[in-house]
Amino acid sequence: MAKNVTRSPKGPRKQEVKASTPAQVAALSICARHGNKPDELLEIFHEMQHELGYVPEDTLPVIATALNRSRAEIYGVLTFYHEFHRHPVGKHIVKICRAEACQSMGTEELCRHAEARLNIPLGGTTADGTVTIEQVFCLGNCALSPAVMVGEKLYGRVDPERFDEIIAGLEKEAAE
């Protein structure tokens, strides 16, 4: 894609980047850590999400300038990948696998149970901001399905009862 972007014949023009919000400041320092290299854009988004919880819209223009890419390209990359959030999400992201191996072990029932237990649809965030539930396709724990991941912690053989235990743990932690 990038080779289609027209540039001035004198070569890329480096603009001065101004950050006016804390998120923009964070974005710029992450970009700088990656040498402002456009091929590290996914890593940059991952780190932003790690630090800020999501990738705020107003950081896209400064990232575009820092990496010397068009805003459309930066926006296009952000929106292409399921993993990146463009809006604030819950403190904990609970990913429920809905791929075939988990389907064969009842993940559909588990999803319905999760929605009822938390009173939100898949993709939603609880009112208190503790939990966001998401569907994913495969966590690589297919021999011990259904699988659920909370942050980076993986759970196997998750039935509704075990799901409730996991959620209770998160709620207890949030209350403390």
Partner 1 sequence: MITVFVPCDAAALSMGADDVATAIASEAKKRKANVRIVRNGSRGMLYLEPLVEVETPKGRVAYGPVAAKDVVSLFDAGFLEGKSHKLGHGLTEEIPYFKNQERLTFARCGITDPFSLEDYRKYGGYDGLAKALAMKPIDIINEVTTSGLRGRGGAGFPTGIKWKTVHDLASNQKYVACNADEGDSGTFADRMLMEGDPFCLIEGMTIAAVAGGATKGYIYVRSEYPHSVHNLRKAIEIAREANWLGDNIQGSGYSFDLFVRMGAGAYICGEETSMLESIEGKRGLVRYKPPIPAIEGLFGKPTIINNVMSFAAVPIILAKGGEFYKNYGVGRSRGTLAFQLAGNIKRGGLVEKAFGVTTRQLIEDWGGGTHSGRPARAVQVGGPLGAYLPESKFDVPMDYEEFVKIDAMVGHGGLVVFDDTVDMAQQARFAMEFCAIESCGKCTPCRIGSTRGVEVIDKIIADIDREKNVALLEDLCVTMTDGSLCALGGLTPLPVRSALHEFPDDFHKPAPNKFLADAAE
Residue list for the binding site: 97, 102, 138, 142
In whole angstroms, what separates CA 16 from the centre of its chain? 29
User: Which residues, numbered 77-106, are part of the site for partner 1 (CB under 8 A)?
Assistant: 77, 80-84, 95, 97, 99-105
- Which is nearer to partner 1, 59 or 145 (by Cβ)? 145
The residue count of the chain comes to: 176
**Phi, psi at residue 122, to the nearest 5°?**
-55, 135
Binding residues among 9-68 for partner 1 as defined by CB under 8 A: 37-43, 45-46
Q: Which is nearer to partner 1, 41 or 60 (CB)?
A: 41
138 binds partner 1 (CB under 8 A): yes
Provide CB contacts within 8 A for 10, sequence distance 6+: none
Q: Which amino acid is at 80?
A: F
Q: What minimum distance in Å lies between the beta carbon of 127 and partner 1?
A: 25
Residue 149 host element (H or E): strand 148-150
- d(CA 162, CA 6) in angstroms, rounded, equals 54
Residues that bind partner 1 (CB under 8 A): 1-2, 37-43, 45-46, 73, 76-77, 80-84, 95, 97, 99-105, 136-145, 147, 149, 152-157
